[in-house]
Amino acid sequence: MVELGSEIDKIVRMFGIPALTQFQKESIMHILKGENVLLISETGSGKTEAAVIPVLKLVKNKNPISVIYITPLRALNRDIFRRIVKIGKEIGLNIEIRHGDTPQHIRRQQLKDPPHFLITTPETFQILLVAPKFRMLLQNVVYIMIDEIHEFCGNKRGAQLSVGLKRLEKYADFKIIGLSATISEPEKVLNYFFNGKKVQIVINRRKKEKKVSVVIPRITKEVAAFSKEHEISLAIASKILTLIDLIDNRSTLLFTNTRPAAEMIATFLKKFGKIEIHHGSLSKEHREKVEKAFKEGALKGVIATSSLELGIDIGDLDLCILVGYPGTVVNTWQRGGRAGRGLDPSAVILVAGRDALDQY
């Protein structure tokens, strides 16, 4: 039995966690030892808590900008902030967000009274590195946390982030904590971001069982009568309606590969239940409203693009539907992993067919 101490127990209770899993205990233990860590565990397994809980304990009473938490999406920034800001206040840590949408007056305030824990994106992290006044604060950094670290592998954002981490070494002595649900080759991530540092890899061996069904939509007379121009989209929507009962308290997240497809399917399904749409072209206010309503159970279904693909906390889902193959196995399992409660079995339906895949 791993003894993590009374302070950790207190923070665990603040998160509302009844009991830590073995994966969480092992992760927390390595972070408390001051190691660089790569945490690999399925969506919904509590890896964010496993990373954040010990860091909150370790940076208590530390200097401003002790932690920089990097995510690939502003929506994920907001989600992480919502989940930990109250706990930070209770233990005396100021937690804030900074990215491209942050107003100028808040940026000035952050320079005047910098937070202990800053949540940001790779692009804003690069800007902070070259901002003379803010760069002076970066010497206080003791932890860089990179969420959804697989999203940065093998692309320009990842290359820039890797270079940024190397540049930060000139100013600060810090540890790196990486988190991911879909890494199959951890060594590649180590080479890309950890710059030869010794790293403890913690893998959750418990896998979520996914029950996958593949269905092919057909164009019925009713669908054809509704709209000749969008027969395929409507055929998919009609088929979805036979797979789920949005009125009977079932929580469903549906992914499409394009925004027009999401709009068309949402328009059709809104006639049958409390459905909303979520994608990057919509306002931040709308997206935040949808995320909150879905998590609270006010919506029975959300139609989304990749905007909800990553680890945003939108509560428990009964069903996840993928309209068409998203292009990679990683994206497929990332989306499908949103369904279920924790590591309970999840139900995933892939709506496919040659014509549907050509459309999307």
Using one digit for the tens of pLDDT, what is the confidence trace for 20-61?
999 999 999 999 999 999 999 887 788 999 999 999 999 987
pLDDT digits (tens, 9 = 90+) for 199-223: 999 998 776 666 776 766 665 665 5
DSSP state string for 130-192: H-HHHHGGGGG--EEEETTGGGGTTSHHHHHHHHHHHHHTTT---EEEEEES--S-HHHHHHH
Mean per-residue pLDDT over the chain, rounded: 81
The pTM of the full predicted model, rounded to 2 decimals, is 0.77
Percent of the chain with pLDDT over 90: 34
From the number of C-beta atoms within 10 Å of its C-beta (0-12, 13-18, 19+), residue 330 rates as: middle
Quick one: which of 226, 252, 228, 229 has its CA closest to 240? 252
pLDDT band of 78, cuts 50, 70, 90: confident
* Tokens, residue 80: 């992480």
pLDDT digits (tens, 9 = 90+) for 175-196: 999 998 878 788 888 888 987 8
At residue 118, does pLDDT exceed 90? yes
